[in-house]
C-alpha cells in the first residue's frame, strides 16, 4: 500500500521555538511537497522538492525552510515559530513525469499550534 507518513499528528510549540516536521514516503517518488491548509484559504504550497538536495519555493515560503537529504524524506523547518504559523501542515509526494499515472498522495497531516 502507498504510504506517506508524517512524524506527528498534533504538535504544540511555543513562539520562537525551532520546529521540525518530518515526512517520509515509501513509493520512491521524485517529487515531494509541503502545504499548509487554513480555513477559507485552501491549500497553499510552501516548498517543494523534485530531487534530493533540490528545492523550490512555493507560494508562501517566508518563515520556512526545507531539507531533502534522502529521496524518501522531506523536512519542513520553522526557524522561529510564530502564532500565525498555527495551521494544518500536509506533506505530499508524486512520481516524476515518466510516471504515467502520476498520482499525488498525501500524508495524514500535522496540526501545529504555536502558543
Task: Enumerate binding residues for another protein (CB under 8 A).
Answer: 30-31, 33, 42-43, 45, 48, 50, 90, 92, 94-97, 101-109, 111
Distance CA 91, CA 29 (A): 13
CB of 51 to another protein, least distance (A): 10
Closer residue to another protein (CB): 82 or 102: 102
CB of 80 to another protein, least distance (A): 27
DSSP structure class, residue 11: E
Distance CA 90, CA 106 (A): 7
Q: Are strands 10-13 and 110-114 parallel, antiparallel or unpaired?
A: parallel
Closer residue to another protein (CB): 84 or 98: 98
HSE, side-chain direction, 13 A CA sphere, residue 13: 25
Closer residue to another protein (CB): 59 or 79: 59
Amino acid at each position: 500500500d502507498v504510504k506517506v507518513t508524517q512524524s506527528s499528528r498534533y504538535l504544540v510549540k511555543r513562539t520562537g521555538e525551532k520546529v521540525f516536521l518530518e515526512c517520509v514516503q515509501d513509493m520512491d517518488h521524485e517529487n515531494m511537497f509541503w502545504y499548509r491548509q487554513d480555513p477559507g484559504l485552501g491549500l497553499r504550497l510552501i516548498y517543494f522538492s523534485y530531487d534530493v538536495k533540490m528545492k523550490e519555493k512555493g507560494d508562501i515560503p517566508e518563515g520556512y525552510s526545507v531539507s531533502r537529504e534522502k529521496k524518501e524524506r522531506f523536512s519542513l523547518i520553522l526557524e522561529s515559530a510564530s502564532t500565525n504559523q498555527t495551521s494544518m501542515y500536509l506533506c505530499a509526494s508524486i512520481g516524476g513525469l515518466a510516471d504515467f499515472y502520476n498520482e499525488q498522495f498525501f500524508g495524514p497531516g500535522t496540526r501545529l499550534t504555536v502558543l
